[in-house]
Amino acid sequence: MALAASKKLSGKDAYCFFTCFPTDGIGTTAPSNMLTVAGKIQSTTGGIVFPDGTTQTSAAVTAGTNNTMLSGWPDAISCNYNGATEFAYLLGHVNSGTNVQYYVAGSYINYTLAGAYANNSGWSIWDCVTGAYSISQLAARGQTFNFAKGPAAQWLQNGTSGYYNAGNVGIGTTTPSAPLWVNGSGTGASSANTAAFSAPNIGSNTSVVHWGSTGDIYWRSAASTGRVILQDTGGNVGIGTANPTAALEVKGSINLDVANSSVSPAVISPIDSGSYGVHLAFSPRANGGSAVEAMRITQAGNVGIGTTAPGAKLQVDTASIGYGEVRIKSTGTSSTIGYYSADGGWDAGVGGWNNPDKFVIGKYNPGGGAKLVVDTSGNVGIGTTNPNAKLAIANNVSSDGPGGSYSSYQLMLYDSGNANSSYGLGISSSVLWFNSAAFFKFYANGTQIGWIDASGFRTGSDLRLKKDIRVLESPLQRLLLLDGVSYSWINENFPRKRVMGFIAQDLVKVFPEVVDADENGYLSVNYSQLIAPMVEALKEEHEQKQELENKVEKLQHKLDDLIKTLCEKARTEELCHK
């Protein structure tokens, strides 16, 4: 049936127009739907009133590509059955012969609401709960169906997207006071989620947001190992501050805890140090205890472990009595600490410079290498990496100290277990000082070869220490070849008074055994060895004296015999009485 544009309907005519004819047209003679209007439908005042009493005054429903309700079959309808009104949203469809059926998801999921259009019958059947009724039959039963109304009509479509621009949207509330207001039913950390987010590629997992009973907000990722990311493309995040100046700014302490822990957490805290300074304190938690500060970084950059007031870049305080309070451990054979400055550096630790099991102090290049080594037996090597004694020094030793008397020495050696038994060595005013609690002993390969006490210097002379013993030849004649002289030293560091001795260059020609040369060719004399030739020369002189005395004695006897004979013959008084 077609109705001219100027035709007005009222009363029964209007009811019959929409119920008696399958298709009706206004402004058209070829209506394609139950109601086809060629032109605009205008409400000049008041808007359109819906059965529930609400009035729609804007965003009229239109046909066409961008409609919200009238593109083929309706998107949503309201089913009033037995006085219960629910919105039913049509989801998808299936083809059954010449019929197209739409299925509904609503509050009452066990109800099935379907709309079918039979091309060959020309009329529609709507089923709200059970049974099949025509529109007129449903109307007689008090069951009515209407297009979605009110705010639902403000949802617009742009391609495959939908949007709403007429006010606030409420989910779970009829009085939203924000552009989107979601009111969930959960009140605890494990209650129903207020909002859930999912994506096609994460399966059944969803990320959720919900509120606790005290107004706390919970953010949870889809999986237990998932991530919660804020500002992944840049910008600052503030916790406890509305004006973050860094990627993450937290005003207050940070508590760190393990999952499902019921005791106090570990804490990272800012500590006010005055004048806008801030220290950073780290407080771990002992087993079964509370968080206690263990480390602090001050505003000056000092790090304190066991102290809240470190006075250096690293200060470690401990009340423990043990070992390894500060430990550096490596999985290899070397573990060292480096000390570096602008002009070089040193390393100290275990195994440096390929010395396993040894503590090494070494110089970093240039001039690198191990300089001091302590091996596993406690031997210390300076200049050598294989010390064979408690202290092995592979070069010169230099010492400096006050000196001045026997009680001020630079090097002191003490008897094991006896602090009063010591040996001192020092230099003062170019004089080498020695001091001993008893006397000095000298050993060679474990054998005593000499010692010094108050009576003098003694050298080893035991027959058991000697071999290839020979008698000195012509000691007197050799000594007679020497010239004893007195002289003064050229070197001002030597004694300045005149001394007596021999010229080594002359002595070496006669007694080469007592003359030695150093690495620079300077000669020295072992004067004590000259005692032996002197003794032998004295013995030689003694023998010569004895021989002379014996000769004199024999001559004296002969002279006495001669005088006796002459006296007897000459009886000369003068000769005989002498």
Bridge partner list, 523? 517
Containing domain of residue 542, as a range?
A: 535-576
Q: 147 lies in a domain?
A: yes
The tens digit of pLDDT for each residue in 320-329 reads: 776 667 777 7
Check if the beta carbon of residue 458 is closer than 8 Å to that of residue 450: yes
Question: Which of 236, 237, 310, 245 is CA-nearest to residue 271?
Answer: 310
Check if the beta carbon of residue 177 is closer than 8 Å to that of residue 168: yes
Between residues 86 and 349, which one has the greater pLDDT? 349
Query: Looking at 164, 184, 201, which one is the last position of a domain?
Result: 164
Q: 29 lies in a domain?
A: yes
| Residues in CB range of 230: below 8 A, 6 or more apart | 237
Query: Does one domain contain both 184 and 102?
Result: no
**pLDDT, average across residues 459-482:** 89
3-state secondary structure of 524: strand
Q: 56 lies in a domain?
A: yes
Q: 340 lies in a domain?
A: no
Cα–Cα dist 424/401, whole Å: 12
Q: Return the pLDDT at 532.
A: 92
Q: What are the φ and ψ backbone dihedral angles of 395, each rounded to 5 degrees?
A: 175, -165
Q: 515 lies in a domain?
A: yes
Confidence of residue 102 (pLDDT cuts 50, 70, 90): very low
Cα–Cα dist 96/411, whole Å: 113
Q: Return the pLDDT at 142.
A: 45
Query: Does one domain contain both 6 and 124?
Result: yes
Nearest 5 degrees, angle CA 240-CA 244-CA 247? Answer: 115
Between residues 335 and 22, which one has the greater pLDDT? 335
Give me 277's structure tokens. Answer: 């300074």
Is the confidence at residue 345, as pLDDT, over 80?
Answer: yes
Matching residue, tokens 């500590």? 271
Query: Does one domain contain both 181 and 151?
Result: no
**pLDDT, average across residues 4-16:** 49
Query: Does one domain contain both 18 and 46?
Result: yes
Lowest mean pLDDT among 350-364, 365-379, 447-461: 447-461
Give me 436's structure tokens. Answer: 């001993």
Is the confidence at residue 287, as pLDDT, over 70?
Answer: yes
The secondary structure of 22-33, three-state, reads CCEEECCCCCCC
SS3 content of the chain, % helix, strand, coil (to 5): 15, 35, 50
| Residues in CB range of 133: below 8 A, 6 or more apart | 125, 126, 127, 141, 143
Check if the beta carbon of residue 32 is closer than 8 Å to that of residue 23: yes
Query: Does one domain contain both 55 and 147?
Result: yes
Is the confidence at residue 11, as pLDDT, over 80?
Answer: no
Question: Which of 529, 514, 516, 518 is CA-nearest to residue 459?
Answer: 529
Query: Does one domain contain both 205 and 141?
Result: no
Between residues 382 and 155, which one has the greater pLDDT? 382
Q: How many CA atoms lie within 13 A of 441 on its CB side?
A: 8
Q: 320 lies in a domain?
A: no
Query: Does one domain contain both 75 and 190?
Result: no
Is the confidence at residue 124, as pLDDT, over 70?
Answer: no
Q: Return the pLDDT at 380.
A: 93
DSSP H helices in 215-288: none
Beta-strand runs (E) in 107-192: 114-117, 124-127, 144-147, 155-158, 161-164, 169-171, 180-182
Q: CA 488 → CA 128, 434, 496, 508, distances in Å? A: 139, 25, 7, 20
Query: Looking at 134, 164, 194, which one is the last position of a domain?
Result: 164
Confidence of residue 364 (pLDDT cuts 50, 70, 90): confident
Confidence of residue 129 (pLDDT cuts 50, 70, 90): very low
The tens digit of pLDDT for each residue in 183-235 reads: 776 555 455 566 776 666 666 666 666 666 666 666 667 666 677 677 777 77
Between residues 310 and 566, which one has the greater pLDDT? 310
Total count of residues recorded for the chain = 578
Query: Does one domain contain both 50 and 74?
Result: yes
Average pLDDT score over the chain: 71
Query: Does one domain contain both 211 and 113?
Result: no
Q: 504 lies in a domain?
A: yes
Confidence of residue 524 (pLDDT cuts 50, 70, 90): very high
Q: What are the φ and ψ backbone dihedral angles of 18, each rounded to 5 degrees?
A: -95, -15
DSSP 465: G
Is the confidence at residue 96, as pLDDT, over 50?
Answer: no
Query: Does one domain contain both 567 and 501?
Result: no
Query: Does one domain contain both 194 and 102?
Result: no
Is the confidence at residue 23, as pLDDT, over 60?
Answer: no
3-state secondary structure of 250: strand
Residues of the chain with pLDDT > 90: what percent? 16
Is the confidence at residue 100, as pLDDT, over 50?
Answer: no
Give the total number of structural domains in the chain: 4
Between residues 134 and 421, which one has the greater pLDDT? 421
Give me 320's structure tokens. Answer: 């423990």
DSSP 482: -
Q: 40 lies in a domain?
A: yes
Is the confidence at residue 499, as pLDDT, over 70?
Answer: yes
Provide the residue type at 473 as one letter.
E
Query: Does one domain contain both 159 and 173?
Result: no
- What b/e sequence results for 13-24 when a residue is b if at least 16 CB atoms lie within 10 Å of its CB, and e otherwise? eeeebeeeeeeb
